[in-house]
Structure 1
Amino acid sequence: MSMRWGMTVPFGGVPLSGHAAVFSALADAGFTDAWSAEVAGTDGFTPLTLAAAWEPRLRLGTAIAPVFTRGPGLLAMTAAALAEAAPGRFQLGIGASSPVVVGDWNAVDFAQPFSRSRDVLRFLRSALAGELVDGDFDTFSVRRFRLERPPATPPPIMLAALRPGMLRLAAAEADGVILNWLAASDVATALAETKEAKPGFEVAARIFVIPTEDAGYARTVGRRMITAYLTVPAYAAFHRWLGREEALAPMWQAWQSGDRKGALAAIPDSLVDELIVHGSPAECRARVQAYADAGVTVPVMALTPTPELERGGLPALLDLIAGLGHHPA
């Protein structure tokens, strides 16, 4: 049984100022970790800073902080500050993100994502150890940077990875890997590329959870999520590598022709059920446990709103957290 059990924060419908009760409920329910994302909602660090202050039982992680959208020095300072606020409880997850987030929304050239990820990883390793960094990387140069407040406990650095090159980079140089948009049955394929990792290598996976017993609703939402993500070139290539070319080709073809309804209709229920966890809290908990059984050391749920949650508000959310919790024997 996994001893780590994560949840993505913050929650929609709850202001950041109201999350103290949510963080407490997570810890009470057996969640060990709160992980943030950084796309177009909150930034990745503010919710974790609040969690650091309000709930000392939780470990904290970013999944992910993009390597393009902050300069190397600012990313190091931000990570160091959170590591200082939550000593020994913070893990910095970094990754390339996507051309939309990096280029369209942050006006940064999304160039050489593999090399940029590698270079930022190497820079952070030195900077967070308190070392002076002065030199040229392949994708940027840094002149005489040293953190004024290096953390007493440098945070582990985890790298988001999909395909073999980035998975092998994570195994060789990072403290862990962050997986995304895969089924529990795909975990072994991904981890086969990380066999050279050192002991203690962590494997986090972001797992999309639609907590409702209305399978029709869950599959409708799941189809929209699949078309939004798996039409992105990096994720399309990832699923080709995983062996889903035949299953996803009709959706890709319809999408490329501009037929959005046809793309949604081309996704079979079986594929939604593979990639999206849905059902009762007990069923969702068991599905997430399957990822842990496959080798994920930090399964991290990412809840999608449901009509039940929207009607029930914060009390319904707190009840759901209790139902999704994890209490190892």
Structure 2
Amino acid sequence: MLDTKPLLIAREFPSIKRQALDILQVNLGYLCNLSCTHCHVNAGPRRTELMDEATINTVLEVIKSRNVQTLDLTGGAPEMNPHFRYLVSEARKLGCEVIDRCNITILCEPGYEDLAQFLADEKVKVVASLPCYTQENVDAQRGKGVFDSSIKGLLMLNELGFGKPDSGLELDLVYNPGGAFLPPSQQQLQQDYKQRLSDDWDIEFNQLYTITNMPISRFGSMLVSKGQFNDYMQLLIDNYQAHNLDTVMCRNTISVDYQGNLYDCDFNQMLEMPIKNDGHAPRHIQDLLANDLSGNNIVVAGHCFGCTAGAGSSCGGALS
């Protein structure tokens, strides 16, 4: 796989500082039942990296000691970590909101038949990746048969109340562009999704998040191989909006890799660009028990233009 990191470091991006910690985004490992073309973590069925129970217990200690409001679980397929349910249950006991970034198809895999019920019982917020509402586009990005499994998973969640009014069970969907272009208007696309999914499948959901593809990992390598990397970077730079700097996710979120090392965001994690620590070894989740990182400079590079281009992009969708 082609390395885009040198190309990204060569780009200048405005300096920004970290604010108070509110969200702990934890990558439970790179194991996944899918291998999507837009995946920035290169997850797949053959990956073996998984967070161990000792590190998960430290995550729980940090949630309690730092009064973390939101635990955002990602992967890979986070549910494939054998300690996933333990972490979710214990975090919920601490009063922490838990987000599961679910690819939906995992709900249909053998051995995960009761996963949807578990998520409902724990009142987990499900953020489900569905890059389009058509079979052709979804299967092109994520593999043959993924669309059908996704629809089946969404119907399963709806039956339990996810995405339904006044159920208290939130179901949000995520759109990623199918190529080297920026997402359309989140509000307009959300209306289109709601209309099509309702008309075709009687599916309901709460919100749609539009997330810009980052020029890193699998997607970045594809751009380089097709000779599109520089054009895509220029697209991001030309659409830079300074006001998006105020609400980029790295200001109040810390990303934790499967080994417990800390990064300013999930994208920096994949580029192996750890939180600044005066040249020493990367900070570890254990360090958060005694350290407040507010005011620290955030590590930036060219890919950061992806978060500030156009309407902006974060794990919570458009910024403006």
Q: With structure 1 as the length reference, what TM-score do the two structures score?
A: 0.45
Task: Mark the structure with the bigger radius of gyration.
Answer: 1
Which structure is higher in helix share?
1
Higher RCO structure (Cα 8 Å, ≥6 apart): 2
More strand as a share of residues: 1
